[in-house]
Chains A and B, each alone.
Chain A
Amino acid sequence: MLNRECSREDDVLRAVASAYIDDDLRGHIASCAGCADLLAVATSVTDDRRMLMREATIPSSGLVWSRANMQARQQARRLVIRTATLVQIALIAAAIIVAIVVLGATPPRIDYRPLLTIPVFAFLAWLILAPVAVYFTVTED
């Protein structure tokens, strides 16, 4: 079979749509393998679609509209939380950098080194990691 269209394919499709095949076209289909394939495929697919659409039990448009809006709101909320978290991370990082610069530039009148103990480091780590944890918790992607 050649890989080309028959010039009467549009007639076949029109016949399928109208559910009527005249004798002339019927004779052509009997002698044209491509049009015979087209008739078989188009008829069964068209009938199948018609039956499926008839038996489809789709949710109401109001319900789908409500769900779409709800999902859109949830998504917007996640975006806000994500943005706020990122801003918080940036601010904390900036604060730490400023603190380090200030402490490094100021002559040490008191010995602050004992303050930099494990609990302080743990607190700083929590400050940084908690927003990161929140970020990964609320992010679905």
Chain B
Amino acid sequence: MAITALMLETILPAGQSKAKAAPARMDEESFRAFYERTARQVWAYLVRLTGESQLADDLLQEAFFRFYRAGTHYESESHRRNSLFRIATNLARDHGRRRRRGVDVPLPDNMESLDARHDQRTDLARALSQLKPLDREILWLAYAQGSSHIEIAEIVGVSSKSIKSLLFRARRKLAELLRA
């Protein structure tokens, strides 16, 4: 163990070895501040990926738990946020795979009632529910979160070169659905 630590000290620059050997979890203050900054954004993202606000509640907490458990050291706030969105994306995908096995489900009733006062939002929710999960993800990340193509690629696990064309096609589909 001491030898391993010594080797890490030798190979890695100072400060990195400890992070690699035993990932330090965030302290309470940092975690809570990060949660306050990002939880609503992630919740909104999960609502539109899954179409269910209650499910988004559960996935939100699971996403933050997994993020906390990972205990990774991040270079910047944007890296940290992208990592959280990647976790949330994977959770929504896992849930979608388990529940519908690639078949899109209609908008749940609770979502209809949630959006009843806002026709435009209902239209958007319906239109998004007709898109593929990947299309929903990249559209939301690009236009709601304002993420760059590189960030979107990192979050959804697609090469950054293909994001441009994927985004273009998804945008065209969504615009057609909104017009319909």
Question: What CA separation (Å) do A55 and B53 show in the bound complex?
Answer: 11
Contact size range, A: 35 or more
- Given the complex, which residues of A lie within 8 Å of B65, measured CB to CB? 64, 67-68, 71-72
Contact A65 B175 (CB under 8 A): no
Contact A52 B178 (CB under 8 A): no
- Given the complex, which residues of A lie within 8 Å of B144, measured CB to CB? 45-46, 48-49
Question: Per a CB cutoff under 8 Å, which of A1, A44, A58 touches B124?
Answer: A44
In the complex, A38 has a CB within 8 A of chain B: yes
Q: In residues 141-175 of chain B, which contact A (Cβ within 8 Å)?
A: 143-145, 164-165, 168-169, 171-172, 174-175
- Given the complex, which residues of B lie within 8 Å of A47, measured CB to CB? 120-121
Residues of A that sit less than 8 Å from B by CB: 1, 3-5, 13, 16, 34, 36-38, 40-42, 44-49, 51-53, 55-56, 58-59, 61-62, 64-65, 67-68, 71-72, 75
Excluding A45-B140, A71-B69, 8 further A-B contacts by CB distance (< 8 Å) are A5-B164, A36-B175, A41-B143, A44-B121, A44-B123, A48-B125, A51-B118, A68-B31
Residues of B that sit less than 8 Å from A by CB: 25, 28, 31-33, 35-36, 39-41, 43-44, 47-48, 57, 60-61, 64-65, 68-69, 114, 118, 120-121, 123-125, 139-140, 143-145, 164-165, 168-169, 171-172, 174-175, 178-179
